[in-house]
Structure 1
């Protein structure tokens, strides 16, 4: 059963994270970020991508009756069900790979790659997909 309150809360949370990333993206051009700001940006980015994957799991369950056990299985299932375009799939792949680097290679400095993704505003795709996926669920019901 769908949880509309969760969907709305997730969207609002994602929107707030995107706005926070936008602030840092704009600030980064004018002033270097402090180490604390870099950590905040990395954490926000990780949460944003995790929320996209969790919503995708939710949509796959409620729209296709497909159960996904792990986040690393999400993209393949989305592509199989033609729930994202090839281009969106490629963008999601980049976002997931960057999140994985930040999450698991935390001793390495991956901020240059994240900075590049921020400057391109690649993370904006999350909000687009959230709107598309919840609209698809609304159409089902």
Structure 2
């Protein structure tokens, strides 16, 4: 059974995370960030991508009755069910890979890669997909 209040809360939370990332993206590149600011941006990015994968799992469960055990399986299932285009799938793959590097390779500096991804505003795809998936669920 769908939980529309959860869907709405997730969307609002994603929107707030995107606004925070936009603030960072628009900052003067000559301003040096503190370690805490870098960690906050990285954490926001990680949460945003995780929320997209969680909503995709939710869509797959409620639209196709497909249960996804691990986030790593989400993209393949989305592509299999044609819930994302090939281009969107590639963008999701880039976001997920960057999230994984930040999450599991935290001893290395990945902030330069994250800054490049943020400058391209790739993360805006999350909000677009959440809106599309919500409409798809509404059409049931």
TM-score normalised by length of structure 1 = 0.97
Q: How many residues are paired up?
A: 140
Match of 2:113 in 1: 113
- SS of 2:82's partner is coil
- The answer to whether structure 1 residue 98 and structure 2 residue 98 are counterparts is yes
- SS of 1:66's partner is coil
The CA deviation string for residues 56-103 of structure 1, in whole angstroms up to 9 with x for no partner, is 000000001100000000000000000000000000000000000000
| Distance in 2 between residues matched to 1:113 and 1:28, nearest whole Å | 17
How far apart are residue 30 of structure 1 and its match?
Answer: 4.6
Instruction: Judging by fraction of residues, say which structure has more helix.
Output: 1
> Gapped runs of 5+ residues in structure 2?
none
Distance 1:62 1:48, change over 3 A: same
How far apart are residue 28 of structure 1 and its match?
Answer: 4.7
Q: CA RMSD in A?
A: 0.7
Q: How does 1:1-141 map to 2 (within 5 A)?
A: 1-140=1-140
| Distance in 1 between residues matched to 2:17 and 2:30, nearest whole Å | 21
